Amino acid sequence: MALTGLLLVLCAAVGMVVNQLQAQSEKRAQAEAIQTAHIVADLVVRRNIDPADITGTFPIREQERADMDADVAVMLRRDRIVGLEVWRNDGSLLYADKDHPAGETDLPADELRMLERPGAEVLVINGSRRGSDTLDIFLPYETAPSSSRSPRARGIVEVLTPRDAVAAGVARSTRSLYALAVVFLAVLVAVLLVLRRRLLLREHQALHDSLTGLLNRVALREQLRQAVVRAQQDHGALAALLVLDLDGFKAVNDTLGHPAGDALLIQVAQTLRRSLRPTDVVARFGGDEFAVLLTHLPDAASAQSISSQLLAKLRAGSYTVHGIELAVDASIGIALIPEHGKDTDLLVQRADVAMYQAKRANSGVTVYDETTDPHDVTQLGLLVELRRAIEQDELVLHYQPKARLDTRDLQGVEALVRWQHPARGLLGPDKFVPLAEHTGLMQPLTEWVLHRAIHQAALWRDLGLMLPVAVNLSPRSLLDGDLAATVLTALADANLPAHLLELEITETAIMTDPDRAVVVLRHLNAMGIRVAIDDFGVGYTSLNYLKSLPVHTLKIDRAFITHMLSDRKDQAIAESVIGLAHKLGLSVLAEGIETEDVWQRLKDLNCDEGQGYYLARPMPADQLAAWVRTHLAVVSSTPTAPARTIDEAAR
Ligand code: C2E
Ligand code: MG
Ligand code: MG
């Protein structure tokens, strides 16, 4: 647009210059004609006509006319003039060439008056002769300078010069001027186009990723800024920022080399672009990290469903590098605009946090949640407080019983941590365990839970209650090199036998570093500690590892249990896991049993143990003893479920 404007201005300027030059060359042509007239007056008229004839009243002498005619003929032949007339001062005709119209014997009064004006030296008039246009030059003609002895006589010499020649000269020079101008403009346009191309290229490079051609981080930030502005101006406008990171990309680079990695990134970029609407913005942040800006979303849930579809398309895509077909998987973190921030940096950071959470949990897609964000300001404050809480015993453990499904015999309790926060009240583990997991607080937290749970089990033992206690381990604690030593010390401090301690480990924890997990678990197993895989079914345990892991129990995640009577697929999964566990020689526990019917169904399916609100909610230690007494009374009064002592159950 700017270029077109500039060109228009340039064309106008060139047009003005050409007009100016044309006017000048017309003036020059006229000056040349006047000069010709002066020469003719000097060489032809002055040479041939006696001054006395001009002032007199007699016709021109024959000899003079003949001489004049001869000279005029030469001039006509050479096209210097078209005609010549000599007028007396009173306007009567003294001499005219042969083509002069016979009737014109007097100079028109207008022209005579103009020439008589004081100071008038020359008069130029457009005329015509023999069918061609002429420039008629009228010169006041003085027969002799006033100082000469001859009498001073005035007349008028009219020289008719060919206007065609003048016009042709002007046209020629105008044509060459135009040609020059066109060449100049063409060169200018070419230069401007080259400059514009370079500018566009530089602009493109500044805003695009050179490998994939997608937008880069800078360009995405600008788009994000505009989305934030739109969201602020139009309160219904909803957008979402997705940060997408490929899983296992490093392995491609390491095993197949960087060119292969680059080729895969290009194919991934193409799949992403193809899978989204044209209005969605796709960018590469660098490495194997991409970002997508979804705009004009109808609601927050659609951000998640679009992300899941995108992930599915990415996984389903076919990627061939160096003739090898590669599988692609990724994790997506979502930050909603404006819900999760109105600042571009903050939105990017939050989508990033969500993406890392998706990666850790193997969940594919995760929407940002400030309660689990270690970078959140309130979370940072909480972090400082959590450190203090661990040191000052603000944490508490609640215990949730587990029982055999058939006899309802108590099998033990699971220790679940809570934080009795001075201002916020009792906080569940979801509010602070992930926070500890992402910062250095997981180790002290686990140590605290281990010591407190083992101490409590020892207290119950001292009361005659042999109640095995299960402690949850986070992925980080499992990989902590000091774990076995910490457990041993805690058991030794409380003088508790190892078989009264059980450790619960999630699939994610095992699969974070399976080889290391196997080593640590073997070590714990050798110490006589029972190990359960927690939340089984929602993570990705390789069956190959499951075969070799020294674990005793699979705890089926409550996601498959709670609604299993209304969801046949849940029930099918629960049934399969029970069968798998038994075939591998493992005991199986169902979590999240909330109703009698589910309890019965699981019993029929041969599940070994159960845990859930139906049996008991997690409760503080001091309530547990009373609960156990009541439970034993209920169990012993039920004929189908013969009561046993807690000691027996524990064994
Ligand atoms: P988990 O180990 O699977 O613990 C079971 C969770 O399910 C507990 O939630 C429990 O209250 C809840 N639950 C039990 N029965 C039912 C039921 O019938 N219905 C429903 N809807 N829920 C039931 P809680 O205490 O909020 O703990 C959540 C998770 O936090 C635990 O899941 C565990 O992964 C983690 N956690 C708790 N304490 C600790 C700890 O000391 N260390 C570590 N690393 N993680 C812990
Ligand atoms: Mg657990
Ligand atoms: Mg669980």
* Per-residue three-class SS string for 333-356: EEEEECCCCCCHHHHHHHHHHHHH
Nearest residue by C-alpha to atom 10 in ligand 1: 618
Measured in Å, residue 534 CA sits from the centre of ligand 3 at 5
Higher-pLDDT residue of 612 and 180 is: 612
**What is the chain's mean pLDDT, rounded?**
87
Among 1-5, 106-110, 481-485, 611-615, the minimum mean pLDDT is found in 1-5
| pLDDT at residue 647 greater than cutoff 50 | no
Distance between CA atoms of residues 34 and 28, nearest Å? 10
Residue 36: strand pairing partners: none
Domain coordinates of the chain in residue numbers? Answer: 2-146+157-170, 217-373, 378-650
Distances (CA, A) of 591 to 113, 141, 636: 125, 130, 24
Testing ligand 1's pocket by substitution, the residue of 447, 448, 454, 472 carrying the most ligand atoms inside 8 A of its CB is: 472
Nearest residue by C-alpha to atom 9 in ligand 1: 416
Could you say which ligand is closest to the alpha carbon of residue 478? 1
Nearest residue by C-alpha to atom 38 in ligand 1: 416
Ligand 1 site, residue 83, Cβ cutoff 6 A = no
Q: Among candidates 332, 351, 320, 341, which has minimal Cα distance to 288?
A: 332
> For the segment 444-492, what is each residue's pLDDT rounded down to a tens digit?
999 999 999 999 999 999 999 999 999 999 888 887 778 899 999 999 9
Ligand 1 site, residue 427, Cβ cutoff 6 A = no
Q: Report the atom number in ligand 1 closest to the C-alpha of 417.
A: 38
- DSSP-derived secondary structure letter, 212: T
Higher-pLDDT residue of 208 and 205 is: 208
Q: Does domain 378-650 have CATH number 3.20.20.450?
A: yes
Ligand 1 site, residue 85, Cβ cutoff 6 A = no
Give just the sign of the alpha carbon dihedral 448, 450, 453, 454. Answer: negative
Residue 88: per-residue pLDDT: 86
Ligand 1 site, residue 416, Cβ cutoff 6 A = yes
Distances (CA, A) of 304 to 313, 334, 364, 585, 639: 14, 8, 11, 40, 51
> For the segment 540-559, what is each residue's pLDDT rounded down to a tens digit?
777 778 888 899 999 999 99
- DSSP-derived secondary structure letter, 296: S
pLDDT grade, residue 638 (50/70/90)? low
Most distant CA pair in the chain, distance: 168
pLDDT grade, residue 562 (50/70/90)? very high
Nearest residue by C-alpha to atom 19 in ligand 1: 592
| pLDDT at residue 506 greater than cutoff 50 | yes
Ligand 1 site, residue 613, Cβ cutoff 6 A = yes
Helix 483-494 / helix 442-462 crossing angle, nearest 10 deg: 30
> For the segment 336-373, what is each residue's pLDDT rounded down to a tens digit?
999 998 888 889 988 988 998 888 778 899 999 887 77
Ligand 1 site, residue 134, Cβ cutoff 6 A = no
Distance between CA atoms of residues 45 and 143, nearest Å? 9
- What is the full DSSP assignment across 429-454? GGGTHHHHHHTTTHHHHHHHHHHHHH
Q: Which two tokens stand for residue 254?
A: 């390491």
Q: Report the atom number in ligand 1 closest to the C-alpha of 506.
A: 34
Distance between CA atoms of residues 85 and 159, nearest Å? 7
| pLDDT at residue 304 greater than cutoff 80 | yes
Testing ligand 1's pocket by substitution, the residue of 386, 402, 416 carrying the most ligand atoms inside 8 A of its CB is: 416
pLDDT grade, residue 144 (50/70/90)? low
Task: Supply φ then ψ for residue 626, to 5 degrees.
Answer: -65, -40
Q: List for the chain the helix, strand, coil content (%; round to 5).
A: 55, 20, 25
Nearest residue by C-alpha to atom 14 in ligand 1: 612
Q: Which two tokens stand for residue 289?
A: 């990290």
Highest mean pLDDT: which of 39-43, 58-62, 245-249, 598-602? 598-602
Average pLDDT value for residue range 296-307: 92
Ligand 1 site, residue 448, Cβ cutoff 6 A = no
- What is the full DSSP assignment across 1-23? -HHHHHHHHHHHHHHHHHHHHHH
Ligand 1 site, residue 97, Cβ cutoff 6 A = no
Ligand 1 site, residue 437, Cβ cutoff 6 A = no
- DSSP-derived secondary structure letter, 162: E
Measured in Å, residue 557 CA sits from the centre of ligand 3 at 6
Residue 165: per-residue pLDDT: 65
Could you say which ligand is closest to the alpha carbon of residue 532? 2
| pLDDT at residue 644 greater than cutoff 60 | no
Nearest residue by C-alpha to atom 28 in ligand 1: 429
Sheet holding 281-286, edge to edge: 281-286, 289-294, 239-247, 329-337, 365-367
| Residues sharing a CB contact under 8 Å with residue 287, sequence separation 6 or more, in sequence order | 249
Cβ 199 vs Cβ 40: under 8 Å: no
Ligand 1 site, residue 474, Cβ cutoff 6 A = yes
| Residues sharing a CB contact under 8 Å with residue 616, sequence separation 6 or more, in sequence order | 400, 401, 627, 631
Amino acid at 345: D
Average pLDDT value for residue range 427-446: 86
Q: Does domain 2-146+157-170 have CATH number 1.10.10.10?
A: no
Ligand 1 site, residue 429, Cβ cutoff 6 A = yes
pLDDT grade, residue 517 (50/70/90)? confident
Give CATH for domain 217-373.
3.30.70.270
Q: Which two tokens stand for residue 106?
A: 């007097």
Nearest residue by C-alpha to atom 3 in ligand 1: 535
Could you say which ligand is closest to the alpha carbon of residue 504? 2
Q: Among candidates 638, 593, 598, which has minimal Cα distance to 617?
A: 593
Ligand 1 site, residue 535, Cβ cutoff 6 A = yes
Nearest residue by C-alpha to atom 34 in ligand 1: 472
Pairing between β-strand 239-247 and β-strand 609-610 as defined by DSSP bridges: unpaired
Sheet holding 132-142, edge to edge: 93-96, 83-88, 154-162, 132-142, 123-129
Cis (ω within 30 of 0) for the bond into 338?
yes
Nearest residue by C-alpha to atom 30 in ligand 1: 429
Distances (CA, A) of 542 to 247, 496, 538: 17, 34, 12
Measured in Å, residue 277 CA sits from the centre of ligand 1 at 40
